[in-house]
Amino acid sequence: MLRGFAHLVATVVALPYALIAAAFLIVGQAARAKGMLAVLNVLFTHADRLVRWGIYVLPVLCLALSLAGFAPGLRRASAVCLLVLSATSLVILVVMPTSKPTAGQWLFLAPCAALIGVSVWLYRAAEVTLER
């Protein structure tokens, strides 16, 4: 139960970082567009995707990832998903900005980096549980 709660908290902490990373990718794509019509096309395309399926699928995926930590058979897979989500978000947030990260930005990214360690711990804890 404690590991499931730890997974739930880690997922809740990881989701804002994933959303910020997705926003960085969209802004980067809009910045690479040539001309105002291309920028609007990028923004409307992403808005259309969000309205069509993302608004329904994203909450379900977040809920599924949150609750998967409570199921003993899914703990390893959910820990790997959490690891991939947090590591990908951290890489995007570090690589995308054009300037070097400041101390405040590193402090902001520290919980996301800690999630990588928590994900590895959850994976190993689920591995030990399966061996028993």
Q: Would you state the pLDDT for residue 65? A: 93
Of the pLDDT bands very low, low, confident and very high (cuts 50, 70, 90), residue 1 is: confident
Strands (E), 2-67: none
- For residues 43-63, give the mean pLDDT: 87
pLDDT of residue 130: 60
Beta carbons of 4 and 76 less than 8 angstroms apart: no
pLDDT for 129 = 62
Single-letter residue type at 59: P
* Domain definitions of the chain by residue range: 35-99
Q: What is the mean pLDDT of residues 33-40?
A: 89
Which amino acid, 40? L
Give the chain's mean pLDDT: 89
Given a cut of 60, whether residue 132 has pLDDT beyond it is no
